[in-house]
Amino acid sequence: MSRRSHFVLLALSLSMLAVGVVSWPAAAQVPEGSVVRELSASEIFVIHGGKKVFIPTQDALRGLGYTPADVMVVPNGLLAGIPRFNAPSASATPGSFLFPPDFPSAGSIDKSHYPLAVSTSQKVLSRGHLWPNGFQEMQLVEIRGWLQSPILPLAGDGAANPEGGGFDWSFTLIPDLQWLESRGVDLSKILKVGNIVVISDPVSGTTSRQLVTKPFLEVEVNSWLYRDRRPPNLSTPPADWIQLPAATWPFLPVGVEAGRYVSVFGSLVSDSGHASDARWGGEIDKWQSFPFQRPEQEEHWARWTEIHPADLIQVIDSRPRTEEVFGLTLYAGFGETRSLVVDLQPPLPKPAGNVRAAFKLIPGPETQVADANCHSIGVLRSTDSIRVTAQTCGTLLTLGRIRALVRVFWEEVPACGPANCAGCCDATGACQAGSSTAACGLGGGSCAVCRNSANATAFCAAGVCGNRCNTGFHDCGDGRCISKKIACP
């Protein structure tokens, strides 16, 4: 090594010591929760779930519960091998960074909301507004779907729904289950029992005893001082937020009509089922996951799913919905039997062409079989709708319970052939039994019409047409029926 190179390395080492450079042997060994930046870079990250989560502003750093003194400087290039995560946000400082799912007040044993992890969500920690409680987990995720309710602009002063010293504004979303399913998301986490019972439009029934609804997701955006919560290290609203006379917001709602297809990014949480809601019929306890459970507890089956708060809402297009999603809840008390029958339709109008109603039935983990001989859910399909029948019974010791999602959509009727028809295929492409003279055949071949011949009546047997001589006639072996008065040659 040359003397010049030696002095360059020495100078670099001294500069790293001067700024307090912390080093690990490899990127994979950077500890979870480390707040870091590289020596020659200004970008700050926090390590969570194997990714470096970008902290876009100093207010975001403080909103997460850190200060500049918490940032560790690491050698250049050390973070290159760690996947990067940028939280999509309409504001430079995301609202979710300031409002993690937290305990409402000192001494609370239950949180207002709990983080809900799915296969596509990113874990981030943010310090709660109550000093003793430390950092709280949140799960950031994108969900796409259709606006069930419109997004309305705020009043001129920025006021909305009061929440303590601040406000929130909200709307409801019909989640795109096909899009979520294609990404491996557990659909039972997206539409819970509480979504079916409370955040929904009823189709049949009034309480969770026997109920079919169209369930939604609630989406909410928080202002500064929402429920009087203030990040411990941030005494004033983020500088990039929008200050109005009544409230300061991360971003303002732009009017969007119901039915538009949108992308929503934010913190995915479960909320308490709100036992006082009349749609529970005073029996929210029937959805306990274990005895003597409070509705506010994280494991209670009656909770619902929200995005709260949302950081970004983007209109994608006006595509129509191709399936209707229904939620079903049914329970029977001790010694009771409960059942329901309901007809459900795919979205109207019916598409042109040879289509029929189809379905996917998704039983929920909340289902509880008390008596296997008295517990069932089934679907019968007709051309334009499906009929769902369900029954459950409670024993002397155990409740019977059913929770399911039913996705109803249109599908092309598959071409008739050997793969789907044991009989025969008629001229319209429909599968026939293949045992009548009007449509005779087997194995998915073309139907034959069995026709009468002279002095004989047609029949179909084992998929083959034949003729049977009429009374007073006989067959002499050549396929012709002649009078019995005439002897066969």
For 364-420, give the DSSP string.
-TT-B-S-GGG-EEEEEE-SS-EEEEEEEE--SS--EEEEEEEEEEEEEPPPPSTTT
- DSSP character at residue 71: P
Q: Does 13 map to a domain? A: no
- DSSP character at residue 30: S
Considering its fold, how many domains does the chain have in total? 4
Say if residues 118 and 268 touch (Cβ distance below 8 Å): yes
Residues spanned by the domain of 280: 88-203+213-317
The rounded distance, in Å, linking the Cα atoms of 256 and 238 is: 26
Q: Does 389 map to a domain? A: yes
The rounded distance, in Å, linking the Cα atoms of 187 and 327 is: 12
Q: Does 8 map to a domain? A: no
CB neighbourhood size of 197 (10 A): 28
| Same domain as 382, residue 240 | no
Give the CATH number for residue 36: 3.30.2390
| Same domain as 94, residue 73 | no
Q: Phi, psi at residue 359, to the nearest 5°?
A: -155, 160
| Same domain as 372, residue 311 | no
pLDDT for position 131:
66
pLDDT for position 28:
67
| Same domain as 370, residue 233 | no
Q: Does 24 map to a domain? A: yes
Last residue of a domain, one of 412, 441, 461: 412
| Same domain as 133, residue 262 | yes
pLDDT tens, per residue, the chain with 489 residues? 443 333 223 333 333 333 457 766 666 688 999 999 999 999 999 999 999 999 999 999 999 999 999 999 999 999 999 999 999 999 999 999 999 998 887 778 888 899 999 999 999 999 988 766 789 999 999 999 999 999 999 999 999 999 999 999 999 999 999 999 999 999 999 999 999 999 999 999 989 999 999 999 999 999 999 999 999 899 999 999 999 999 999 999 999 999 999 999 999 999 999 999 999 999 999 999 998 899 999 999 999 999 999 999 999 999 999 999 999 999 999 999 999 999 999 999 999 988 999 999 999 999 999 999 999 999 999 889 999 999 999 999 999 999 999 999 999 988 899 998 999 999 888 899 999 999 999 999 999 999 999 999 999 999 999 999 999 999 888 888 989 888 887
pLDDT for position 15:
36
Cα torsion at 346, 393, 335, 403 (round to 10°)?
-50
The rounded distance, in Å, linking the Cα atoms of 27 and 22 is: 12
| Same domain as 137, residue 69 | no
Say if residues 352 and 412 touch (Cβ distance below 8 Å): no
Last residue of a domain, one of 250, 282, 317: 317
pLDDT for position 5:
34
| Same domain as 478, residue 371 | no
Burial class of residue 472, CB neighbours in 10 A (0-12, 13-18, 19+): exposed
Q: Does 1 map to a domain? A: no
Q: Does 260 map to a domain? A: yes
| Same domain as 220, residue 99 | yes
| Same domain as 135, residue 244 | yes
| Same domain as 184, residue 122 | yes
| Same domain as 278, residue 189 | yes
Q: Does 286 map to a domain? A: yes
- Backbone dihedral region for residue 228 (phi beyond 0: left; psi -120 to 50: alpha; all else: beta): left
pLDDT for position 27:
67
pTM of the entire structure?
0.84
Give the CATH number for residue 366: 2.60.40
| Same domain as 163, residue 240 | yes
The rounded distance, in Å, linking the Cα atoms of 153 and 170 is: 11
Q: Report CA-CA distances (Å) from 208 to 275, 382, 470.
A: 12, 27, 65
Last residue of a domain, one of 49, 67, 86: 86
Strand order in the sheet with 200-204: 200-204, 210-215, 323-332, 400-412, 355-363
The length of the chain in residues reads: 489
Q: Report CA-CA distances (Å) from 197 to 138, 274, 330, 478.
A: 25, 11, 11, 73
CB neighbourhood size of 378 (10 A): 10
Q: Does 22 map to a domain? A: yes
Say if residues 177 and 216 touch (Cβ distance below 8 Å): no
